Amino acid sequence: MKQIIILMFFLSFVELSIANDIKLVINGIDINKGKVHIGLFDNQEEFPNGEPKIGKILVSENFTLEVNFTDLTNGNYAVAIFQDTNSNGILDKNFFGIPKEKYGFSGKRTFGKPDFLDAMFTLKTDEQEVLIVID
C-alpha cells in the first residue's frame, strides 16, 4: 500500500510538468519578401536582442503566418519578430535608429522597443494562441 501511494505521488508530479504549446499567429507580413525571424524568450536579460530560448526563421509566403512552439513548460515568455526583406540577417535601421524593416512583439504595443514585462505573456494552458501584428 505504501508503494502505491508513493507511486501515485510521483505520477501526479509528472502530470504537473507536462509540456504545453504556443501557437503564434503573425499578421502583416509582406509576401515573398525575405524571411521572418522569430525569437521566443523566457528571460528578461536576453530580450529582445540576445539569444532566444527558441529561434525560428521562416519564408514569408503569406500575409499571415502560423508558428508552433511545442513542449514548453508553464511560465513567462515574450516574442520578438522581424521580417528581413534584404536577407542580411539583421533588423536594418535608419540613421536615427528607427527600423526600416517590419517588426513586432508579443504583449501590449509600445512606442519603441518594449522591455520583457511589456511583451510578456504567461503560458499556463495546454495550448495558447498569441496574435502578433508586425508593421
Establish whether the linkage from the previous residue to 48 is cis, with ω within 30° of 0.
yes
Q: What is the pLDDT of residues 69-78, one digit of tens each?
A: 999 999 999 9
Please say whether the beta carbons of 23 and 64 come within 8 A: no
In a domain, 8, yes or no: no
pLDDT of 5 > 70? The answer is: no
Domain that holds residue 103: 19-133
pLDDT of 10 > 50? The answer is: no
In a domain, 54, yes or no: yes
In a domain, 9, yes or no: no
pLDDT at site 3: 47
Total structural domains in the chain? 1
In a domain, 89, yes or no: yes
Kindly report the CATH number assigned to the domain that includes residue 119. 2.60.40
Burial of 69 (0-12, 13-18, 19+ CB in 10 A): buried
Instruction: Please count the residues of the chain.
Output: 135
Query: What average pLDDT score do residues 17-24 get?
Result: 82
pLDDT at site 122: 93
Burial of 22 (0-12, 13-18, 19+ CB in 10 A): buried
pLDDT of 64 > 50? The answer is: yes
In a domain, 74, yes or no: yes
pLDDT of 54 > 90? The answer is: yes
- pTM of structure: 0.83
11 against 134, higher pLDDT: 134
Q: Which amino acid is at 3?
A: Q
Task: List the one residue out of 57, 80, 135 whose CA is nearest residue 102.
Answer: 135
In a domain, 5, yes or no: no
In a domain, 10, yes or no: no
In a domain, 49, yes or no: yes
CA atoms of 99 and 118, how far apart (whole Å): 19
Portion of the chain with pLDDT greater than 70, in percent = 87
Please say whether the beta carbons of 76 and 121 come within 8 A: yes
